[in-house]
A = this chain, B = another copy of it.
Amino acid sequence: MNLLLLETADFTAPDKVVLRDRRFTHMQAVHRVELGDSLRVGKVDGLMGRAQVTRLEDHEAELAVVLDQPPPAKLPLTLVLALPRPKMLRRVFQTIATMGVAKLVLVNSYRVEKSFWQTPFLEPAAIREQLILGLEQARDTQLPEVLIEKRFKPFVEDRLPAVSAGTLGLVGHPGDYPPCPRHPEQPVTLAIGPEGGWIPYEVDLLGLAGLQPVQLGERILRVETAVAVLLARLF
């Protein structure tokens, strides 16, 4: 946790919070804070700044908060991702929040196992928990937008063209395609497939929506690594 993220409900006054939960435990166990210590804080979807510990008890702490700095800029990116397996999904939520993805769309694909859609990690509170962990890691306050599209074809045909309009549209796909461009300096819409990749029909449909295939070399990367590698190359 490189930033203590504060929620609206934590505030007892405009410049004062009381913490009792995981964050209080973390302050004590990891940061070993004492009365008067100063910590980096941010308000979810708000500004960042510092907080001073003004009261420290066994079960809670009170902090005086000054929020005066903007969070880092988001990447100008919509990431369309075939739903990964649940364990990977949790880490992907953290990774995309840490790296500054503005918008994530989770879609179905022929090679996504149907059971993956049953995972409790897709519940809004579970998604938010992982995104918050990712923001705390990065020192960011702005939650990425996460959309869930369980049907591939209606999403790609009816809604993706409007998302990709005016952006560089790319599909990560192994094969005889151009390499993923480096630092293209324009907004990007990027689609990353499931383990085993998109099927040709899906690549064709993504192409009609404005996304052209690019490849990343011979090595096959886990989804989480592929996300980090593609974003590092693009931005």
Contacts and interface: CB of A to CB of B under 8 A. Distances in A.
Contacts of A182: 182-183
A139 B218 contact: yes
A2 B220 contact: yes
Nearest to A235: B217
Interface residues of A, number: 26
A72 B219 contact: yes
A138 interface: yes
B219 A140 contact: yes
Contacts of A225: 95, 98-99, 228
A219 B95 contact: no
A98 B222 CA distance: 9
Interface string A125-167: 0000000000001111000000000000000000000000000
Contacts of A94: 222
A172 B225 CA distance: 19
Contact of A220 (B139, B183, B220): B139
Contacts of A139: 218-220
8 contacts: A72-B218, A98-B220, A98-B222, A137-B220, A137-B221, A137-B222, A138-B219, A232-B232
Please name the 6 residue pairs, one residue from A and one from B, whose CB atoms are nearest each other, closest first.
Answer: A232-B232, A228-B228, A229-B232, A138-B219, A72-B218, A2-B220
Interface of A: 2, 72, 94-95, 98-100, 137-140, 182-183, 217-222, 225, 228-233
